[in-house]
Structure 1
Amino acid sequence: MMPFETPPLPPPAPPRSWLRRRVLDPLLDLLKAGLSPEKLALTVGLGVAFGLVPTFGITTIVSAAVALRLRLNQAAMQLVAHLMSLFQLALLIPFLRGGAIRAGR
Protein backbone atom coordinates (compact mmCIF):
# COMPACT_ATOMS: atom_id res chain seq x y z
CA MET A 1 0.00 0.00 0.00
CA MET A 2 1.38 3.39 -0.97
CA PRO A 3 1.57 6.16 1.66
CA PHE A 4 -1.19 8.26 0.04
CA GLU A 5 -3.54 5.43 -0.90
CA THR A 6 -6.84 5.25 1.00
CA PRO A 7 -7.89 1.93 2.54
CA PRO A 8 -10.86 0.13 0.94
CA LEU A 9 -14.31 0.96 2.29
CA PRO A 10 -16.16 -1.67 4.34
CA PRO A 11 -19.13 -3.35 2.63
CA PRO A 12 -22.48 -1.57 3.10
CA ALA A 13 -24.71 -2.71 5.93
CA PRO A 14 -27.65 -4.92 4.94
CA PRO A 15 -31.02 -3.12 4.73
CA ARG A 16 -33.05 -3.16 7.91
CA SER A 17 -36.46 -4.80 7.93
CA TRP A 18 -39.73 -2.87 8.33
CA LEU A 19 -40.31 -4.38 11.78
CA ARG A 20 -36.89 -3.27 12.95
CA ARG A 21 -37.23 0.27 11.56
CA ARG A 22 -40.83 0.88 12.68
CA VAL A 23 -41.13 -1.04 15.95
CA LEU A 24 -37.89 -2.22 17.50
CA ASP A 25 -35.68 0.81 16.87
CA PRO A 26 -38.18 3.35 18.31
CA LEU A 27 -38.69 1.21 21.42
CA LEU A 28 -34.95 0.80 21.87
CA ASP A 29 -34.50 4.57 21.46
CA LEU A 30 -37.09 5.12 24.21
CA LEU A 31 -35.22 2.67 26.44
CA LYS A 32 -31.98 4.55 25.85
CA ALA A 33 -33.70 7.84 26.70
CA GLY A 34 -33.81 6.98 30.40
CA LEU A 35 -36.84 4.71 30.61
CA SER A 36 -36.13 1.81 32.96
CA PRO A 37 -36.81 -1.73 31.71
CA GLU A 38 -39.64 -2.14 34.25
CA LYS A 39 -41.35 1.07 33.13
CA LEU A 40 -40.89 0.13 29.48
CA ALA A 41 -42.45 -3.29 30.10
CA LEU A 42 -45.39 -1.69 31.91
CA THR A 43 -45.79 0.85 29.11
CA VAL A 44 -45.78 -1.84 26.41
CA GLY A 45 -48.14 -4.10 28.36
CA LEU A 46 -50.67 -1.36 29.02
CA GLY A 47 -50.35 -0.11 25.44
CA VAL A 48 -51.20 -3.58 24.14
CA ALA A 49 -54.15 -3.87 26.53
CA PHE A 50 -55.56 -0.45 25.61
CA GLY A 51 -54.87 -1.02 21.93
CA LEU A 52 -57.04 -4.15 21.90
CA VAL A 53 -60.09 -2.59 23.56
CA PRO A 54 -62.76 -2.68 20.84
CA THR A 55 -63.89 0.93 21.14
CA PHE A 56 -62.63 3.12 18.34
CA GLY A 57 -61.43 6.63 19.20
CA ILE A 58 -60.88 5.97 22.90
CA THR A 59 -57.40 4.46 22.62
CA THR A 60 -55.55 7.78 22.48
CA ILE A 61 -57.43 9.39 25.36
CA VAL A 62 -57.29 6.42 27.72
CA SER A 63 -53.64 5.58 27.06
CA ALA A 64 -52.59 9.24 27.46
CA ALA A 65 -54.50 9.54 30.75
CA VAL A 66 -52.99 6.33 32.15
CA ALA A 67 -49.50 7.29 31.00
CA LEU A 68 -49.84 10.66 32.75
CA ARG A 69 -51.23 9.10 35.93
CA LEU A 70 -48.53 6.43 36.18
CA ARG A 71 -45.75 8.73 34.91
CA LEU A 72 -44.97 6.49 31.95
CA ASN A 73 -43.62 7.52 28.58
CA GLN A 74 -46.59 8.76 26.56
CA ALA A 75 -44.88 8.38 23.19
CA ALA A 76 -44.12 4.71 23.82
CA MET A 77 -47.65 4.06 25.07
CA GLN A 78 -49.21 5.72 22.00
CA LEU A 79 -46.86 3.89 19.64
CA VAL A 80 -47.71 0.47 21.04
CA ALA A 81 -51.44 1.19 21.37
CA HIS A 82 -51.74 2.34 17.78
CA LEU A 83 -49.65 -0.54 16.45
CA MET A 84 -52.32 -2.80 17.94
CA SER A 85 -55.09 -1.25 15.82
CA LEU A 86 -54.61 -3.94 13.14
CA PHE A 87 -55.31 -6.62 15.75
CA GLN A 88 -58.23 -4.56 17.05
CA LEU A 89 -59.80 -4.58 13.59
CA ALA A 90 -59.10 -8.29 13.14
CA LEU A 91 -60.76 -9.13 16.48
CA LEU A 92 -63.79 -6.86 16.05
CA ILE A 93 -66.03 -9.45 14.36
CA PRO A 94 -65.14 -12.31 16.77
CA PHE A 95 -65.85 -9.99 19.72
CA LEU A 96 -69.20 -8.96 18.25
CA ARG A 97 -70.19 -12.57 17.50
CA GLY A 98 -69.13 -13.66 20.97
CA GLY A 99 -71.25 -10.91 22.51
CA ALA A 100 -74.25 -11.87 20.39
CA ILE A 101 -73.94 -15.53 21.39
CA ARG A 102 -73.62 -14.61 25.04
CA ALA A 103 -76.64 -12.31 24.86
CA GLY A 104 -78.72 -15.19 23.48
CA ARG A 105 -79.40 -13.93 19.97
Structure 2
Amino acid sequence: MGLSKIRLKAWFHKKVGDPLLQILRRGAEPKQLAFSAALGITLGVFPICGVTVFLCGVAIALLGSLCHAPTVMLANFIATPIELSLVVPFLRFGEGISGGPHFPLTSDALKQVLTGQASREVLLSVGNVLLGWFIAAPFIMVALYVLFLPCFKILVRKFGVIAPSPTIPIDLHSELKPKPRD
Protein backbone atom coordinates (compact mmCIF):
# COMPACT_ATOMS: atom_id res chain seq x y z
CA MET A 1 0.00 0.00 0.00
CA GLY A 2 1.35 3.42 -0.94
CA LEU A 3 2.17 6.10 1.60
CA SER A 4 -0.71 8.31 0.40
CA LYS A 5 -3.22 5.47 0.91
CA ILE A 6 -1.89 4.90 4.43
CA ARG A 7 -2.20 8.61 5.21
CA LEU A 8 -5.72 8.76 3.77
CA LYS A 9 -6.76 5.73 5.82
CA ALA A 10 -5.28 7.24 8.99
CA TRP A 11 -6.97 10.59 8.29
CA PHE A 12 -10.34 8.91 7.66
CA HIS A 13 -10.01 6.83 10.82
CA LYS A 14 -9.13 9.92 12.90
CA LYS A 15 -11.72 12.29 11.40
CA VAL A 16 -14.66 9.92 10.76
CA GLY A 17 -14.14 6.49 12.32
CA ASP A 18 -13.11 7.54 15.82
CA PRO A 19 -15.82 10.24 16.18
CA LEU A 20 -18.46 7.78 14.95
CA LEU A 21 -17.36 5.18 17.50
CA GLN A 22 -17.47 7.80 20.27
CA ILE A 23 -21.00 8.74 19.22
CA LEU A 24 -22.14 5.12 19.21
CA ARG A 25 -20.62 4.42 22.63
CA ARG A 26 -22.43 7.31 24.27
CA GLY A 27 -25.76 5.52 24.06
CA ALA A 28 -27.86 7.51 21.59
CA GLU A 29 -30.89 5.83 20.03
CA PRO A 30 -30.71 4.56 16.43
CA LYS A 31 -33.73 6.66 15.36
CA GLN A 32 -32.15 9.82 16.71
CA LEU A 33 -28.80 8.99 15.09
CA ALA A 34 -30.43 8.19 11.73
CA PHE A 35 -32.44 11.43 11.82
CA SER A 36 -29.39 13.46 12.83
CA ALA A 37 -27.14 11.94 10.15
CA ALA A 38 -29.80 12.47 7.49
CA LEU A 39 -30.26 16.07 8.63
CA GLY A 40 -26.51 16.73 8.67
CA ILE A 41 -26.00 15.41 5.16
CA THR A 42 -29.11 17.13 3.79
CA LEU A 43 -27.98 20.47 5.19
CA GLY A 44 -24.38 19.63 4.29
CA VAL A 45 -25.18 19.52 0.57
CA PHE A 46 -26.77 22.99 0.66
CA PRO A 47 -25.36 24.51 -2.53
CA ILE A 48 -23.79 27.65 -1.07
CA CYS A 49 -20.32 27.03 0.34
CA GLY A 50 -19.63 28.15 3.87
CA VAL A 51 -23.27 28.19 4.95
CA THR A 52 -23.74 24.57 5.94
CA VAL A 53 -22.16 24.78 9.42
CA PHE A 54 -24.39 27.75 10.22
CA LEU A 55 -27.48 25.88 8.96
CA CYS A 56 -26.58 22.85 11.08
CA GLY A 57 -26.09 25.06 14.13
CA VAL A 58 -29.50 26.66 13.62
CA ALA A 59 -31.11 23.24 13.15
CA ILE A 60 -29.47 21.92 16.33
CA ALA A 61 -30.63 24.98 18.28
CA LEU A 62 -34.19 24.69 16.98
CA LEU A 63 -34.53 20.91 17.34
CA GLY A 64 -32.77 20.60 20.68
CA SER A 65 -32.91 17.08 22.07
CA LEU A 66 -34.68 15.73 18.97
CA CYS A 67 -31.35 15.60 17.18
CA HIS A 68 -27.88 14.51 18.24
CA ALA A 69 -25.59 17.51 17.66
CA PRO A 70 -22.29 15.61 17.21
CA THR A 71 -23.90 13.35 14.61
CA VAL A 72 -25.34 16.31 12.70
CA MET A 73 -21.93 17.98 12.59
CA LEU A 74 -20.07 14.79 11.65
CA ALA A 75 -22.53 14.13 8.83
CA ASN A 76 -22.15 17.74 7.67
CA PHE A 77 -18.38 17.24 7.59
CA ILE A 78 -18.75 14.03 5.60
CA ALA A 79 -21.09 15.76 3.13
CA THR A 80 -18.62 18.54 2.30
CA PRO A 81 -17.06 16.86 -0.77
CA ILE A 82 -20.51 15.91 -2.01
CA GLU A 83 -21.74 19.51 -1.71
CA LEU A 84 -19.79 20.84 -4.68
CA SER A 85 -20.59 17.85 -6.86
CA LEU A 86 -24.33 18.50 -6.46
CA VAL A 87 -24.36 22.18 -7.41
CA VAL A 88 -24.82 21.46 -11.11
CA PRO A 89 -27.58 18.84 -10.61
CA PHE A 90 -29.41 21.24 -8.28
CA LEU A 91 -29.00 24.02 -10.86
CA ARG A 92 -30.39 21.89 -13.68
CA PHE A 93 -33.21 20.61 -11.47
CA GLY A 94 -34.09 24.18 -10.44
CA GLU A 95 -34.03 25.28 -14.08
CA GLY A 96 -36.38 22.42 -14.94
CA ILE A 97 -38.78 23.31 -12.11
CA SER A 98 -38.80 27.04 -12.86
CA GLY A 99 -38.78 26.64 -16.63
CA GLY A 100 -35.86 29.04 -16.71
CA PRO A 101 -33.20 29.20 -19.41
CA HIS A 102 -30.25 26.82 -19.36
CA PHE A 103 -27.36 28.67 -17.71
CA PRO A 104 -23.96 28.04 -19.34
CA LEU A 105 -21.38 27.20 -16.71
CA THR A 106 -18.20 29.10 -17.45
CA SER A 107 -15.26 30.29 -15.40
CA ASP A 108 -16.33 33.84 -16.25
CA ALA A 109 -19.66 33.32 -14.48
CA LEU A 110 -17.90 32.13 -11.33
CA LYS A 111 -15.53 35.10 -11.52
CA GLN A 112 -18.51 37.48 -11.77
CA VAL A 113 -20.11 35.96 -8.68
CA LEU A 114 -16.88 36.12 -6.66
CA THR A 115 -16.11 39.72 -7.64
CA GLY A 116 -19.66 40.95 -7.03
CA GLN A 117 -20.27 41.78 -10.69
CA ALA A 118 -22.90 39.13 -11.20
CA SER A 119 -25.35 39.71 -13.98
CA ARG A 120 -29.06 39.02 -13.75
CA GLU A 121 -28.55 35.60 -15.37
CA VAL A 122 -25.97 34.59 -12.77
CA LEU A 123 -28.23 35.67 -9.92
CA LEU A 124 -31.14 33.81 -11.53
CA SER A 125 -28.98 30.68 -11.72
CA VAL A 126 -28.18 30.98 -7.99
CA GLY A 127 -31.92 31.16 -7.38
CA ASN A 128 -32.40 28.03 -9.50
CA VAL A 129 -29.71 26.18 -7.55
CA LEU A 130 -31.45 27.06 -4.29
CA LEU A 131 -34.84 26.09 -5.71
CA GLY A 132 -33.44 22.73 -6.80
CA TRP A 133 -32.07 22.09 -3.31
CA PHE A 134 -35.26 23.22 -1.53
CA ILE A 135 -37.37 20.87 -3.65
CA ALA A 136 -34.93 17.94 -3.37
CA ALA A 137 -34.04 18.35 0.34
CA PRO A 138 -37.13 16.66 1.85
CA PHE A 139 -36.69 13.68 -0.48
CA ILE A 140 -32.97 13.48 0.33
CA MET A 141 -33.76 13.66 4.05
CA VAL A 142 -36.38 10.88 3.96
CA ALA A 143 -34.28 8.62 1.72
CA LEU A 144 -31.24 9.00 3.95
CA TYR A 145 -33.27 8.35 7.11
CA VAL A 146 -34.71 5.16 5.62
CA LEU A 147 -31.21 4.10 4.58
CA PHE A 148 -29.52 5.02 7.86
CA LEU A 149 -32.04 3.60 10.34
CA PRO A 150 -31.18 -0.08 9.83
CA CYS A 151 -27.48 0.80 9.65
CA PHE A 152 -27.56 2.60 13.00
CA LYS A 153 -29.58 -0.21 14.59
CA ILE A 154 -26.79 -2.61 13.65
CA LEU A 155 -24.01 -0.20 14.64
CA VAL A 156 -25.55 0.62 18.02
CA ARG A 157 -26.05 -3.08 18.73
CA LYS A 158 -22.46 -3.84 17.77
CA PHE A 159 -20.56 -0.82 19.14
CA GLY A 160 -22.98 0.79 21.60
CA VAL A 161 -22.66 0.78 25.34
CA ILE A 162 -23.43 -2.45 27.10
CA ALA A 163 -26.31 -2.07 29.52
CA PRO A 164 -25.17 -2.29 33.13
CA SER A 165 -25.96 -5.50 34.95
CA PRO A 166 -29.05 -5.42 37.12
CA THR A 167 -28.29 -4.37 40.66
CA ILE A 168 -29.87 -5.49 43.87
CA PRO A 169 -32.62 -3.04 44.74
CA ILE A 170 -31.92 -1.04 47.85
CA ASP A 171 -34.73 -0.15 50.21
CA LEU A 172 -33.99 3.43 51.20
CA HIS A 173 -36.62 3.39 53.94
CA SER A 174 -35.09 0.57 55.97
CA GLU A 175 -32.66 1.36 58.70
CA LEU A 176 -29.16 0.07 58.54
CA LYS A 177 -28.39 -1.82 61.70
CA PRO A 178 -24.86 -2.70 62.62
CA LYS A 179 -24.08 -6.38 63.05
CA PRO A 180 -23.49 -7.41 66.63
CA ARG A 181 -19.94 -8.49 67.43
CA ASP A 182 -19.24 -11.93 68.77
Return the TM-score normalized by structure 1.
Answer: 0.68
Post-superposition offset of 1:99: 2.9
Q: CA RMSD in A?
A: 2.4
**From 60, 67, 72, the counterpart of 1:67:** 60
How many Å separate the matches in 1 of 2:35 and 2:92?
31
Q: Which residue of 2 aligns with 1:82?
A: 77
Q: Does 1:55 align with 2:51?
A: no
Unpaired stretches in structure 2, ≥5 consecutive residues = 1-5, 102-182
Residue 45 (structure 2) pairs with residue 45 (structure 1): no
Corresponding residue to 1:96 among 63, 73, 91: 91
1:101: how far off?
4.7
> Which structure shows the higher helix fraction?
2
SS in 2 for 1:55: coil
Aligned partners of 1:40, 1:70: CA distance in 2, in Å? 13
Measured against aligned partners, the alpha-carbon deviations of 1:51-82 in whole angstroms (never above 9, x if no partner) come to 11212232112212222323233222112112
Note the C-alpha offset of 1:46. Answer: 0.7
Q: Is the 8 A contact 1:47 1:80 kept in 2?
A: yes
Please state whether the residue corresponding to 1:31 is helix, strand or coil: helix
Q: Which has the larger radius of gyration?
A: 2
Please identify, of 42-51 and 58-67, the stretch whose mean Cα deviation from structure 2 is larger.
58-67
Q: How many Å apart are 1:21 and its aligned residue?
A: 3.5
Aligned length: 91
18-27 or 33-42, which deviates more = 18-27
Q: In percent, how many aligned pairs have the same letter? A: 28
TM-score for the superposition, normalised by structure 2: 0.43
Shift of 1:33: 1.7
Flag the 1:73–1:101 CA change in 2: closer, same or farther, 3 A: closer
Structure 1 residue runs without a partner (length 5+): 1-14
**Distance between the aligned counterparts of 1:94 and 1:76, measured in 2?**
26
Tell which has more relative contact order, 1 or 2 (C-alpha 8 A, sep 6+): 2
Equivalent-residue separation in structure 2 for 1:66 and 1:95 (angstroms): 22
Paired residues of 1:52 and 1:84 also in contact (CA < 8 A): yes
Tell me, what secondary structure is at the counterpart of 2:86? helix
